[in-house]
Structure 1
Amino acid sequence: MSDSVPSDVIGRRIDVNGELATVHYFGSVPPITGLWLGVEWDNPQRGKHDGSHEGIVYFKCSENKLKFSCDSPSPSCTFSALKVLVLNRTGITWTEVLWCAQGWPVLEELYLASNDITISERPTDVLQTLKLLDFSNNHSIDGDQLFQIAYLPRLEQLILSDNRISSLHFPDAGIGCKTSMFPSLQYLVINGNQISQWSSINELDKLQSLQSLSCTQNPLTEGNKELQTIRQLIIAKIGHLKILNKCEIFPEERRGAELDYRKTFGNEWKKAGGHQDPDKNKPNNEFIIAHPRYQLLCLKYGAPEDGELKPQQPFMLKNQLLTLTIKCLNQPDQKVLVKQLPESMTIQKVKGLLSRLLKVPVSDLKLSYESPKMEGREIELENDQQPLQFYSVENGDCILVRW
């Protein structure tokens, strides 16, 4: 029998007396002699085994296999009130989804995980009420296929976890412009894909309604990279993002991320033709493509000054020290303190230092700071585990202490 069975038989479709099936196993099935094919029938009523024999599992059938004949009469309004439909692991194809969708006129949530779907055509007059679409674990989906669903008018949530998407792009919009694609998309999940270039993150800033993004377990975010740095870069690159990887982005975190971004790439900006004089500020196209929001950040915070762009010497402690004034708002008569603190010092350790100086329990202390560059604004230092540099505290800033 083995001589007549191809070596790549697993996964092949077969026809047995008019019944269609997919081969999932080829080999012995003790104690029965000979070699056997294990198949999953398209007709779930056919056969009496589920891939196991006498307690041994040789393969697993789909949990819920569905097959449709698109030659049948239109299923128009078959489920006229249906709003949520879960079709995970059913073997349904995208063509079958679109055909059946004629019977789901008010559907709002559709779950299609683990179906090996390829998005082969645009929904036409169907799925127009859809708000959530889950394509998780469909390895055939790539970035280009997303164009097929890009104009669903009410789509707010798109889940693309564990696919093989390597890039995202919206070619209808230029640098600094918003795309007409995915007009209502607010929540996007691209965890577990193959995204490795910052250009894809730049593209996400073109989505006009995007507020929440999850993008863990991609080459861009994994490896030996500092996760906090990656987070700050994403925040700086996507201007309207409010939630990243399920963590809210507070205004002070956005400000810190954008200021750090402005400094980090300041020398590159100058070499590319950037200048503090607006009339001379003409960075080349290569820089603008790599950093499409940089010019906006310069308008928001001012162009980086030469003093901010001096090469850092991280191994010399004196080059990491910040000279800060410290004001105790509870005791206006208290003399203003001046301290040099490492920029890597956590808020918790700053509180410990002040607790010893002021004889106040750490748990009672509340810290914030103000900067001459942001007059009239006070930034709360609310996360004890973050360093001063996380909040972009700089030389000359003032730490405000309350208890």
Structure 2
Amino acid sequence: MDFAVNQRRSYDGNLCTIRYVGKVEGTSGDWLGVEWDNPTRGKHSGEHNGVRYFTCRKKEATPGSFVRPSRPADKPRGFLEALREKYASEFVEQQGSGGFGAADPLHDPIKFSSKVVEEVGFDKIRKKLAELQELKIVLLDGLRVAGVQAEDGVQKSETEGLGREGACREIEETCPKIAQLDISRCLVSQWRDVKDICARLEKLRVLKLNGNRFGAVEEGLRFEGIAELHLNETLLSWEELSTLSYQFPALTSLSVSMNQVNEVSTPISETITTLILEHNEIDSLFSVRKLAALPKLERLSLRGNCIENISRPGTAEDPIQFSPSLEFVDLSYNKINSWSFINVLPLVFPGLQSLRISGNPLYNQPVASTEITNMPDKPMTVDEAYMLTLARLSSIQILNYGNITPQDRNNGELYYLSLIGKELSAFPEDAEKGILAKHPRYGELCERHGEPIVRRAEEKSGRAVNPRSVAARLVKLVFRLSSQEETIKTKEVPRSFDTYQVKALVSRLFGLTPLEFRLTWETDELDPVSKENREEEEWDSEDKEMGIGNAAGDETRFVKREVELVDSTRDIGFWLQDLDEARIRVDLLG
């Protein structure tokens, strides 16, 4: 057998691509340098003893190996052979047994009392072949399809070419109604082989070629009628993907995930309305700026990339603005860690109505710093993440596949305004301009809901308190016994007291032992909570039909946050920063 670079092979079910044919220094005989689809299967990257023999497309360290040409490979299949093996196995078995002879017992009907009960020979095979003609969805992924014929992918003689033409006609006659075809993870490697199959399927609209490895894109090929194309994990460069998009004149949906793409460097066909670029290596929205020229783009998925910024850090770049036709954007599971990114999204995507953005490090941060909230730092809750995101985006109607109700928006905007008010209160007046610059919707929200109450540190008391005085080092604690609402006792204690000392004080005030109760600080902070007790590990859902992705829902309300003062040697001043008074509930245990 002849071997060629870019030819596909399968050994013991492991797919690979030939990248080199020839000698290897220090050894005898010829070798095939192959790149395995599964990079953990290999031993190197195409280099041996300091000499590079081939280059792998995968960026992993060990996708390559050398194998002998004599090593037995798995048998490739032609398109119809794979089709019949999966969907008409009786036909394949009968062909393998030598055909249908007159003495073939399968051709004889089964009789009882001279009556035919079941005929299992030709009629059953004819029924299966008739079913092939009705097939609309065909899945041949992983069945080692090499092309129209099993020998495709290697150079053919003129005689073989005549046989190929007959095989093409047979495809048209055998399965003329196929509308969706999947020949992913197979042995096909040349675009003309794909073209010859598709050209005989006039009703074909969806083509999936995921996980294959193709040679150079061939000029002059046209794939008529195909509207949806999947090329995930094919390791094609963006330039190759761009060229291919113009060879599919009816193309509206293109999926090119897991292709190591780090930049959209050239335009693609303007017919595309849906583009899926998931799990690539894109690090900023500026890297996909050429997609802004697509006038019909409606859905863009950039899930699972490395996006952290709108533009590249340290560069002065023109603003990016996508077509108003783009309504759905998926930015989930990237590296977004700043609210400033969220604030700019309406400018970048002026038509944005549906956004998915969960799974980013931004949502592992506190809603604000301790000096603003007077609370220990902890990651924001599911509801806080949902509220603070929708409050910054006035036009979106769906967040993480959950419909945003008027009540959701009202609650979110009020909560967001309250946090801005706390931030303004925590800093002097001359810092106000810089703070409001971080909240571009502040003026709009104030017009809608009214301005938040701002009480800066110097305004909280009628007279200034010397920070070195005893008064500045004391905090008033109002204790309330939960079992007796009217039992309230007040004490001023040093901020340096720890929880143990406070509990000792409570023990004396109420005649309790320290192990009988726990202390809960009733704050003035409002938390959005849902009536339903939802799990907080996930705040979105891909199930659009179930409607479970609405993190807030119609039953959302606000409750005051409570913080348990756990037994600790930490000063209570850490919990009660900048507070002159705090309400502490004494809860009896057991």
Q: TM-score range by the shorter chain?
A: 0.5 to 0.7
Query: Which letter does structure 2 place at the counterpart of 1:137?
Result: H
Helix, strand or coil at the partner of 2:246: helix
- CA distance 1:389–1:182, shift in 2 (3 Å): farther
1:190 has 2:331 as partner: yes
In the other structure, the counterpart of 1:378 is: none
- CA distance 1:346–1:66, shift in 2 (3 Å): closer
In the other structure, the counterpart of 1:387 is: 557
In the other structure, the counterpart of 1:48 is: 73
In the other structure, the counterpart of 1:94 is: 238
1:156 has 2:298 as partner: yes
In the other structure, the counterpart of 1:22 is: 35
In the other structure, the counterpart of 1:252 is: 407
1:200 has 2:341 as partner: yes
Say which of 132, 141, 146 aligns to 2:288: 146
Deviation, 1:143, is 3.1
Across the aligned residues of Structure 1 and Structure 2, the Cα RMSD in angstroms comes to: 4.3
In the other structure, the counterpart of 2:258 is: 114
Deviation, 1:118, is 2.8
Helix, strand or coil at the partner of 2:211: coil
Q: Structure 1 unaligned runs (5+)?
A: 1-10, 28-36, 51-59, 174-178, 275-281, 319-341, 350-380, 391-403
Say which of 195, 216, 225 aligns to 1:81: 225
Deviation, 1:47, is 7.8
Contact 2:384 2:527 in 1 (8 A): no
Say which of 123, 127, 134 aligns to 2:269: 127
Larger Rg, first or second structure (1 or 2): 2
Query: Which letter does structure 2 place at the counterpart of 1:158?
Result: L
Helix, strand or coil at the partner of 1:17: strand
Say which of 264, 282, 298 aligns to 2:446: 298
- CA distance 1:345–1:296, shift in 2 (3 Å): closer
- CA distance 1:20–1:345, shift in 2 (3 Å): closer
Deviation, 1:346, is 7.3
Deviation, 1:67, is 2.0
2: CA distance, partners of 1:212 / 1:382: 16
Q: Percent identity?
A: 23
Q: Structure 2 unaligned runs (5+)?
A: 1-15, 24-31, 45-61, 76-184, 188-209, 366-378, 461-474, 481-524, 533-551, 561-590
1:232 has 2:232 as partner: no
Helix, strand or coil at the partner of 2:336: coil
1: CA distance, partners of 2:253 / 2:389: 28
**Mapping of residues 306-317 of structure 1, within 5 Å:** 306=454
2: CA distance, partners of 1:140 / 1:346: 35
Deviations along 1:342-367, one digit per CA (max 9) or x if unpaired, are 97797869xxxxxxxxxxxxxxxxxx
Contact 1:169 1:203 in 2 (8 A): no
2: CA distance, partners of 1:218 / 1:257: 20
- CA distance 1:299–1:163, shift in 2 (3 Å): same
2: CA distance, partners of 1:227 / 1:346: 9
In the other structure, the counterpart of 2:211 is: 64
Q: TM-score, normalised by structure 1?
A: 0.59
Helix, strand or coil at the partner of 2:250: coil
Q: TM-score, normalised by structure 2?
A: 0.42
Helix, strand or coil at the partner of 1:205: helix
